[in-house]
Copies of this chain bind each other. A is one copy, B any other.
Amino acid sequence: MLKPSDEKYLRAIYQISQSENTGKSTISELAYYLELKPPTVLERLKILEQEKYITYTKTDGIHLTRSGQKQALNVVRKHRIWETFLHKVCKFSWSEVHELAEQLQTVNSEKLIDRIFMLSGEPKFDPHGDPIPDKSGTLPASERRPLLNSIEGCRCTVLGVNEDSAEFLNYLSELKIGLNEKLVVEKIFAFDGTLKVRFKNAETALLSSKVAEKIMVSCTKPGCLCGK
């Protein structure tokens, strides 16, 4: 049986690997994420490695094994279901849910998660737009489409790009839009199709239709009519 703090580690490793394009995590990132010091993290990683949840080498970083990935996805599932419940059923704001879900995710009852999931209307995405894995660890399929096909109010996640010229990628990195970024389409200017998007929950940017055409996203707003 996994301890609560093991679950935190696995979820953190998973989250970091998702937000990196390399898919690898380092000790200092993990330490920063977990608000611990690197020696503490290293010590624990050795145990997680013995238990075959991860592999770790200095050069190659931290990777989840198949078994570790399965566990991690289960924790992610619990976490995102709690977040959704807190937001939709208990009416907590977007920004309050994370910390509470962190605590609730440690509660050990598959049955409780099932009930909470039902009470929340069996959602496919959490309030941040992140997909909720099913019990077998499968993420819900999401339709990949250009950001350009959005409608106002659409919430979506960046899955990738359709062009990899340095100019384009530099431009995106200048805007600080990366893989898995969550975007909210605030306004679409009919004149030339420019999109005003909000992201990192605060910043906004104006994207020309030429750029928006090349950013591939999936919509995470339930019932959204975008791309139709």
Q: Does A57 contact B (CB under 8 A)?
A: no
Question: How distant is the Cα of A100 from the Cα of B109 in the complex, in angstroms?
Answer: 8
Identical copies in the complex: 2
A47 contacts partner chain B, Cβ-Cβ < 8 Å: no
Complex CA–CA separation, A120 to B104 (angstroms):
18
A95 within 8 A of B: no
Q: Is the CB of A108 within 8 A of B115?
A: no
Q: Which B residues lie within 8 Å of A224 (CB)?
A: none
> How many angstroms from the CA of A91 to the CA of B112 in the assembled complex?
10
**Closest CB-CB distance, A127 to chain B, in whole Å?**
15
C-alpha spacing A111/B92, complex, angstroms: 9
Provide the residues of chain B in CB contact with A108, threshold 8 Å: 103
- Cβ of A48 within 8 Å of any chain B Cβ, yes or no, is no
- CB pair B100–A115 under 8 Å, yes or no, is no
CB of A225 within 8 Å of the partner chain: no
Chain A interface helix/strand/loop/mixed = helix
Q: Which residues of B contact A116 (CB under 8 A)?
A: 90
Residues of A91-142 whose CB lies within 8 A of B: 91-92, 100, 103-104, 106-109, 111-112, 115-116, 119
In the complex, chain A residues 17-68 whose Cβ is within 8 Å of any chain B Cβ:
none
**A119 touches which of B90, B92, B104 (Cβ 8 Å):** B90
Is there contact, CB below 8 Å, between A107 and B104? yes
In the assembled complex, 19 residue pairs joining A and B whose CB atoms fall closer than 8 Å, in A order, are A86-B112, A89-B119, A90-B112, A90-B115, A90-B116, A90-B119, A91-B115, A92-B111, A92-B112, A92-B115, A100-B107, A100-B109, A100-B112, A103-B106, A103-B107, A103-B108, A103-B109, A104-B104, A104-B107
